[in-house]
Structure 1
Amino acid sequence: MYNYEEMHDLDHARQIESIWVCKAYTAKCSLSEPFQLSHQYYQTGDFTIGTIATQYAFIFEEIGFKKIPTIKDIDRLIARPKYYQHVLSSVFAIKEINENSQILPNATFGFHIYDSYINARMTHQNTLKLLSSQEKIIPNFKCDKQKNLIAVIGGLDSEISLYMATLLGIYKIPQLAYCIIAPVMDVKNQLPSFYRMVPSEEYQYTGIVQLLLHFQWTWVGILTMDDDNGDQFVTTLMPMLLQHGICIALNEKTPPVSQAIEKLSFDSILKRACYLSNSKIKVLIVNAENPTITCLTWTIYLYVTLKSITETSVGKVWLITAQWDFSLDIMLRAIDIQVFDGTLSFAIHSNAVPGFRKFLYHLQPNAEKGDDFIRIFWEQAFSCSFSGSKEVKQTSDSCTGEEKLDSLPGTLFEMSMTGQSYSIYNAVHAIAHSLHKMYSSRSKHRAMQDRARLDVSNLQSWQIHPFLRSIIFNNSAGDKVSLNEKGELAAGFDIINWVAFPNQSFASVKVGMMDPEAVTDQDFTINDKAITWHNTFNQAQPLAVCNDYCYPGYSRKKKEGQPFCCYDCTLCPYGKISNQMDMDYCFQCPKGQFPNSNRDQCLPKVLNFLSFTEPLGIILTFLILSSSVITALVLEIFIKHKDTPIVKANNRNLTYTLLISLLLSFLCSLLFIGCPQTVTCCLRQTAFGIIFSMAVSCVLAKTVTVVLAFMATKPGSRMRKWVGKSLANSVVFSCSIIEAIICVVWLCTAPPFPHLDTHSLMEEIIVECSEGSVTMFYCVLGYLGFLAIVSFAVAFQARKLPDSFNEAKFITFSMLVFCSVWLSFVPSYLSTKGKYMVAVEIFSILASSAGLLGCIFAPKCYIIILRPSLNSREQLIRRNT
């Protein structure tokens, strides 16, 4: 059937063949219809608690309807010795109750335990046996040897539980299951006699999502059985994962065990095991129902063997649901369990039960009466044979009965109670406490002073339902046991980290819990430092993503045709940042902050204004003060030589006014330096405009005076009446008052004010004076320009007049400088920002003022100081002649 030529060597082929068709336990019992199996464990008592356990799994040949059914041999028996603890926990709990004088002291509990064999026919058959009075299946028949069945515990998975419930529900017998997944959607209404001694599977789904989000795993695979439960698991979990941004990289369904063994070739199995070779998938979520784990273990073993690799090379993080308890089939006991090293699983919360370990130490296979499981378990677990055993062994070792259970590896048997055994233990106690509560309530209405033996003959199992639904008690381990409104255990799940060692032993470490009963911020807790990862990850937390994270400074960009978890990382655009991993969008910094060079952090902006303490401010201040001092010296020189011809020429008072205006113009530049305030903003442009308009008006008045003076010298000229101080004063006053009116209107309508510009410069906040009304600002400058142009035009016309009597030539040059400076000011002013804009305006004021001062007064100061001989009336007359 199988092609062994593709294997690496013959030894591997023989090894696989021996395991593939091995018979862990062959019953070889000739059966009549229906099937009869002898595996049971019973003990009589006043009340009987039935149990359908799951220790073995038979693989039956499928029977069709094309021929009459014949006697069949039950062949392959897959056994898990670890499940024998389920039987022992039930027996121990009943023993503990019978020894407790506080719980129904005048009644005893018995038990009757059958196996389900993970088979529908056998589960129905053995459930009917529990309902029958004798070994023969005769339900509804009462006799003297009635078992007085009070409740039934089982089964391990949802299907077995449903098979039992279809029969037990007819008789309203309480069924306490320990299956993680409910057999039907609406258990409370569809199965009113059904209870589960495990938490709701909804908490497990939520826990899986929270665990993935905690580790930031967004690229995961899902393994389930190819059946209704597997479909239900995927249907429920997948929307929750997608809703929280987790992508499903793989959704693989494992075939049933019978199909895997009988029908699939090695090539088919290896093809299905692509998730083991896919290095990109680091995390696999396994719905750990019994058949799924069995097939998964088989697949891993075959994959490792056929590929000639070690189990440790299959570096995965197995995230397994609470059905798993790290047990192996007897035929796979040789598998290297380190493939499951670092596994994270959910587990039914359990605690150390006092006396259970001691109970296991005193267990003897030859001393137990009525137990058909123990000898088979003993032979399988210790690989030995009792005398007269039907099991065919390759070894000749004989069982002595003195073997120690604590010497077995954890995959075959554990000395501490597992989560499933703990659920069975609590189920037995819940039944006992319910009966005790029921009889305690009756004692309030009856006189039971003589404490006579309880009358159990008339007790009906359905009568304990009200008490079972409301049961609340503390077990011997100190845990509170109660059921919620859905008949499920009101508790959460533990998160277990499984650490496997080379000697086939393992340790289970509780690293967290999912407790819906806790407060909101403590319903999910996990200790990262306590987790041991698979050695292929070098004890570093695995990275389960489609691609690397986008670090701060980058944002995610979706890849076309790929799941949303797959993306490219793009650098944030200029001016934006991202300060977390895997951000979808970059964002602007808050007002007053700017991005750093890596675009992953916002830094506070510095204030940008022209300060007196910075180099540029110091230089400009020095120039302003120097120019002011020079202007003051010139004024002093002219006052000192006020009676000289060169000072008296062309209206001495205008000269003084002009020099004072220039001095104030230099000094008003200081208003532009320093942090802008409301007063300084209002005075900056207005003071400059009025003072400078007065200076330009003086220049215009000088020019007009010179022109009129020469025109008045002509015979018969009518201009003589215009020549005089009154005309000059009128020109200065009228031209200045217009500028003053413009400034007053500006201040009254839309005055300048301090403003913070947070957008113009990336790393700085410009502290500036907003002009308030840009129109009024340009009106002030425009009027100054108009005066300057008029002065320039008049001076240009008078430039050829004799130099000894007028300064028109110098005024022409000064106006030329003035106009050049302010024409270049406008584009420079508009193209700069912040303190440099202020510096441009200050420089323009200084340059234009210095131009007037230098062009008009420098030649005169030269004559007054260095050529005083030229500053005499005779020299002026001689030059004029």
Structure 2
Amino acid sequence: MTSAKLADQSLGLFYLLLMVSLTHNEELDCRQIGDTEKPQLVKEGDIILGGLFSFHNNWKEKRETYSFKPLLNFREFQLAQAMRFAIEEINNSSDLLPEIFLGYKIYDTCGSNARSVQVALALLNSNENVSAPSKACSRPAQVQAIMGEASSSPSTAIATAIGSFYIPLVSRTVEYDSSLAHLVKHFDWTWVGAVRTNDDYGNNGMATFIENAQQLGICLEYSVAFFRTDPIEKIQNIIDVIKASTSKVIVAFLSQADMDVIIHHFSKHNLTGYQWVGTEAWIFDFQTAAGDKNHILDGAIGLSIPKAHISGFREFMLDVKPLNVSKSDFFTEFWEALFSCKFKQSGSEEIQKECTGHEDLTGVQNTFTDMSLMPIFNNMYKGVYAVAHALHNILRCNKTCNLSVQLDPKTVRLSICLFHRFYSTCSKSTLKQRGEEVYFNDHGEPPAKYEIINWQPKENGVVEFVPVGLYDASLPADRQMNVQAGSLIWVPVSVCSERCPPGTRKVLQKGKPVCCYDCIRCAEGEISNITDSITCVRCPPEFWSNERRDTCVTKENIFLSYEEIMGALLTAASLFGTCLTAAVAFIFIRHRKTPLVRANNSELSFLLLFSLTLCFLCSLTFIGRPSEWSCMLRHTAFGITFVLCISCVLGKTMVVLMAFKATLPGKNVMKWFGPTQQRLSVLGFTLIQVIICILWLTISPPFPSKNFKEYKDKIILECSLGSAVGFWSVLGYIGLLAVFCFVFAFLARKLPDNFNEAKFITFSMLIFCAVWITFIPAYVSSPGKFSVAVEIFAILASSFGLLICIFIPKCYIMLLKPENNTKKNMMGKGTPKSF
């Protein structure tokens, strides 16, 4: 059975016997059951304060005797000295508790929760027996307040045990807050492991850390707990978990003793390269640093209580000889441990070095002479002063104190609380104590304020605790954490997944924490311009995502321009057709008096050449960036010029037919189709198209538009038709005239004439109709600028067809066969010529 279980059973028996003794006949003597607990340090006074310190927290087992020998903890003795120093200072003060002397009874808890409760109860009871029947067994508590302990678990156990007695317990535990989580977040460590002491300090502290870490987007890969007395197999399992992890940061909510255990196992397995984040329990403890022989903790960073200075405390702490007056066993043990010697009276069988009791402390350098824990000592110091101020208020001390006031534990406890609350209700009020201002927040607690400490090894192997920043919860949120990053020796990266750069979004990995994710590239047309974006935003319609998907760029505008090859070729073809038409017109003008020109209705021929010139030129309006005017001009100019052209061809065809009819007996139709009628017919046919175009432009004209549908990353600049009815009416009217012209020409193709123009008109109309019938499906199915190119090609092809079929044969006769350009041949009296 372990010592802890034995202690728990003894404690239960003690409670049972205490209840029996309290309910027994009052005439019986009240006697304490069991061994008397003797304090390690005692000082009598008017008012007694209790102290609980774990002077022994490590035990070594001698298997041959099955006995245990404790190892003295100098850190706890330093805390006891801080308590004694504050009491001595108050006793020498004329302002605080004048003419009242404070005493103390300090017990050793030996690092056991059960023993902590046992000695706490011993502080509440007198060791004297009560035999007078008139007196009750229950008497006022021997102490008015208890100072201790530093750990949460024994403090909780003590508070539970003495709660019904209303004795105030002033614990030195540090309040759990969000500061450690903010420190981890400051370095962007989102994937961390956690190790904690398996007690109230570690479990409650880690619970608070995890709660705040989740709010800050920090994930824990693992969270393991152990106690220094756990079997080695359990600690080995923890080592295996850490070795298998991928996180490089370990948050350690460990006591100093537990930290020594875990570092020992890390050294044995040669586990290095981890960034340790520590709490005030070990982060600035030189004893922990001295035990880290393999520099496992190099680069560790954590929060420590701000530095403090207590004037005269170092001298008081080192002056321990007054304790020797009591000749207590505790002083003997302390002195032997401090100087590694033995007193003869200690009963040691082998004395390697004999103690004299007059050794010089000034040359000793160990944990006891180390003042690095001065902030912790200062907390104890301020705690004693808080109790003293409460007692001062109860006793209404002015010049003297009213010692006749009965000190009820409830009153003392309430006074401490009210004293504490008084300074929390006024934001400008502070407790000024030896020149130090102590502020309290709305919860009656001083706001968190820590120094940020970084472990930096030096050339001689000694670790230096370098302050690299400050955390102050009283400042605005954006200024609470102030870290000098340049002063740190090593800041690793510890993330489950690398941060997603702009252009990607986070997708959580199935079954893993939120810190584990994949970075998926944004889809086309979507961007993310921040790191670790969870969504991609679609670009506006006129924009498209760039190659990196991190910004929206303006889409490329597509239209048929003069600079590109297709636009340049079509422009060249249009200009060539214009020049060719001009050349034909020049030839016709030069030979205008010849029979060939005069026989083929020179007026309509020149008008047709003029209309063909306009047809070639109107194709240029389709090239270039669409604008409001160009959109209206291109379709109407094309419709009117082509109707003018077809009207002239139709007029020439009608002339041929009418001329043949006029040669028949009894026919005089030419009088109805003379030059005036020809002009009027051309004008009438053209005027109809003009009216259609005017209605189209008036009701719903074409307009420039942007087509976003054909291409995802490009914008097609085109001319919307406005009214589709207007567009197809223009084309339909042109087609109707072309069909009439083709029919009339077809009917006149075999008329007896050496220079039968109807044949060539038939071929030209055949080409014209074939081009525009093919144009319709090609135009509808072609995207973007290609539809414009198809329309231009149809215009040019039909124009070239008319020009070549109607005028090139005549030019051939006029230029190469001038002997055939005679009236005789025109009248059909010569050798017939067929073209």
TM-score of the superposition, structure 2-length normalised?
0.79
Q: Partner of 1:275: helix, strand, or coil?
A: helix
Q: Partner of 1:703: helix, strand, or coil?
A: helix
Alignment pair present for 1:483 and 2:440: yes
Q: 1:81 touches 1:380 (CA, 8 Å); kept in 2?
A: no
Q: Which residue of 1 aligns with 2:618?
A: 668
Q: Which residue of 2 aligns with 1:694?
A: 644
Alignment pair present for 1:284 and 2:250: yes
Q: Which residue of 1 aligns with 2:261?
A: 298
Rg bigger for which structure? 2
Structure 2 counterpart of 1:298, one-letter code? V
Q: Partner of 2:716: helix, strand, or coil?
A: strand
Q: Partner of 1:339: helix, strand, or coil?
A: coil
Q: Which residue of 1 aligns with 2:371?
A: 415
> How many angstroms does 1:140 deviate by?
5.8
Change (3 A) 1:247 1:166: closer
Q: 1:750 touches 1:772 (CA, 8 Å); kept in 2?
A: yes
Q: Which ranges in structure 2 are unaligned for 5 or more consecutive residues?
A: 1-13, 15-31, 131-135, 424-428
Q: Which residue of 2 aligns with 1:56?
A: 56
Q: In the aligned structure 2, how far is the partner of 1:770 from the partner of 1:375?
A: 106
Q: Which residue of 2 aligns with 1:158?
A: 152
Change (3 A) 1:141 1:580: same
Alignment pair present for 1:772 and 2:730: no
Q: Which residue of 1 aligns with 2:463?
A: 506
Q: In the aligned structure 1, how far is the partner of 2:774 from the partner of 2:434?
A: 93
> 42-51 vs 586-595, which deviates more?
42-51
Structure 2 counterpart of 1:126, one-letter code? V
Q: 1:154 touches 1:178 (CA, 8 Å); kept in 2?
A: yes
- After TM superposition, the structure 1 = structure 2 runs for residues 86-97 of structure 1, keeping only pairs within 5 Å, are 86-94=79-87
Structure 2 counterpart of 1:124, one-letter code? V
Q: Which residue of 2 aligns with 1:366?
A: 321
Q: Which residue of 1 aligns with 2:495?
A: 544
> How many angstroms does 1:253 deviate by?
2.9
Q: In the aligned structure 2, how far is the partner of 1:380 from the partner of 1:358?
A: 19
Deviation readout 1:292-332 (Å, 9 max, x if unpaired): x6445424424643xxx43xx333223334444454889x9
> How many angstroms does 1:844 deviate by?
3.6
Q: In the aligned structure 1, how far is the partner of 2:747 from the partner of 2:360?
A: 134
> How many angstroms does 1:806 deviate by?
3.8
Q: In the aligned structure 2, how far is the partner of 1:753 from the partner of 1:384?
A: 107
> How many angstroms does 1:232 deviate by?
5.0
Q: Partner of 1:781: helix, strand, or coil?
A: helix
Q: 1:155 touches 1:161 (CA, 8 Å); kept in 2?
A: yes
User: How many positions carry a matched residue from both structures?
Assistant: 780
Change (3 A) 1:475 1:531: farther
Q: Which residue of 1 aligns with 2:405?
A: 458
Q: Which residue of 2 aligns with 1:638?
A: 588
- After TM superposition, the structure 1 = structure 2 runs for residues 66-215 of structure 1, keeping only pairs within 5 Å, are 75=68, 77=70, 80-94=73-87, 111-132=104-125, 141=139, 149=143, 151-166=145-160, 169-180=163-174, 198=175, 201-204=176-179, 207-208=180-181, 210-215=182-187
Alignment pair present for 1:859 and 2:815: no
Change (3 A) 1:640 1:140: farther
Q: Which residue of 2 aligns with 1:351?
A: 307
Q: Which residue of 1 aligns with 2:360?
A: 402
Q: 1:131 touches 1:139 (CA, 8 Å); kept in 2?
A: no
Q: Which residue of 1 aligns with 2:241?
A: 275
Q: Partner of 1:454: helix, strand, or coil?
A: coil
> How many angstroms does 1:506 deviate by?
2.5
Q: In the aligned structure 2, how far is the partner of 1:723 from the partner of 1:773?
A: 37
Structure 2 counterpart of 1:317, one-letter code? Q
- After TM superposition, the structure 1 = structure 2 runs for residues 290-689 of structure 1, keeping only pairs within 5 Å, are 290=255, 294-295=257-258, 297-302=260-265, 304-305=267-268, 309-310=269-270, 313-325=271-283, 327=285, 334-336=291-293, 338-347=295-304, 349-353=305-309, 355=311, 359=315, 363-368=318-323, 380=337, 401-403=359-361, 407-408=365-366, 414-417=370-373, 419-432=375-388, 452-458=399-405, 460=407, 461=412, 462-471=414-423, 472-473=429-430, 480-500=437-457, 505-533=462-490, 541-545=492-496, 547-611=497-561, 620-689=570-639
> How many angstroms does 1:481 deviate by?
1.7
* Identity value in percent: 35
Q: Which residue of 2 aligns with 1:818?
A: 768
Deviation readout 1:469-508 (Å, 9 max, x if unpaired): 1234355687642333434323344443333568663233
Q: Partner of 2:178: helix, strand, or coil?
A: helix
> How many angstroms does 1:116 deviate by?
3.1
Change (3 A) 1:524 1:805: same
Q: In the aligned structure 1, how far is the partner of 2:129 from the partner of 2:150?
A: 25
> How many angstroms does 1:639 deviate by?
4.2
Structure 2 counterpart of 1:160, one-letter code? P
Q: In the aligned structure 2, how far is the partner of 1:531 from the partner of 1:393?
A: 50
> How many angstroms does 1:758 deviate by?
4.8
Deviation readout 1:636-672 (Å, 9 max, x if unpaired): 5434544333333343332233222222233333433
Change (3 A) 1:418 1:736: farther
Structure 1 counterpart of 2:760, one-letter code? F
Deviation readout 1:118-171 (Å, 9 max, x if unpaired): 3233222333344456799999646xxx97x55433222222222332355445
Q: In the aligned structure 2, how far is the partner of 1:598 from the partner of 1:505?
A: 49
Deviation readout 1:324-361 (Å, 9 max, x if unpaired): 4454889x9644262122223333x413326368547x
Q: Which residue of 2 aligns with 1:191?
A: none
Structure 2 counterpart of 1:52, one-letter code? L
> How many angstroms does 1:773 deviate by?
3.5
> How many angstroms does 1:685 deviate by?
1.7
Q: 1:79 touches 1:329 (CA, 8 Å); kept in 2?
A: no
Alignment pair present for 1:791 and 2:741: yes
Q: In the aligned structure 1, how far is the partner of 2:704 from the partner of 2:805?
A: 36
Change (3 A) 1:563 1:172: closer
Structure 1 counterpart of 2:120, one-letter code? T
Change (3 A) 1:681 1:114: farther
Structure 1 counterpart of 2:178, one-letter code? Y
> How many angstroms does 1:588 deviate by?
2.7
Q: In the aligned structure 1, how far is the partner of 2:781 from the partner of 2:330?
A: 96
Q: 1:56 touches 1:80 (CA, 8 Å); kept in 2?
A: yes
Q: 1:41 touches 1:372 (CA, 8 Å); kept in 2?
A: no
Q: 1:353 touches 1:476 (CA, 8 Å); kept in 2?
A: no
Alignment pair present for 1:249 and 2:226: no
Q: In the aligned structure 1, how far is the partner of 2:466 from the partner of 2:753?
A: 108
Q: In the aligned structure 2, how far is the partner of 1:299 from the partner of 1:275?
A: 13
Q: 2:259 touches 2:282 (CA, 8 Å); kept in 1?
A: no
**Cα root mean square deviation, aligned:** 4.4
Change (3 A) 1:820 1:526: farther
> How many angstroms does 1:425 deviate by?
3.3
Q: Partner of 1:415: helix, strand, or coil?
A: coil
Q: Which ranges in structure 1 are unaligned for 5 or more consecutive residues?
A: 1-30, 62-71, 181-197, 534-539
Change (3 A) 1:165 1:784: same
Q: In the aligned structure 2, how far is the partner of 1:365 from the partner of 1:178?
A: 23
Q: In the aligned structure 2, how far is the partner of 1:113 from the partner of 1:251?
A: 37
Q: 1:283 touches 1:544 (CA, 8 Å); kept in 2?
A: no
- Between the two structures, name the one with larger relative contact order (CA 8 Å, sep ≥ 6): 1
Q: In the aligned structure 2, how far is the partner of 1:243 from the partner of 1:414?
A: 39
> 696-705 vs 636-645, which deviates more?
636-645
Q: Partner of 1:269: helix, strand, or coil?
A: helix
Structure 2 counterpart of 1:56, one-letter code? H
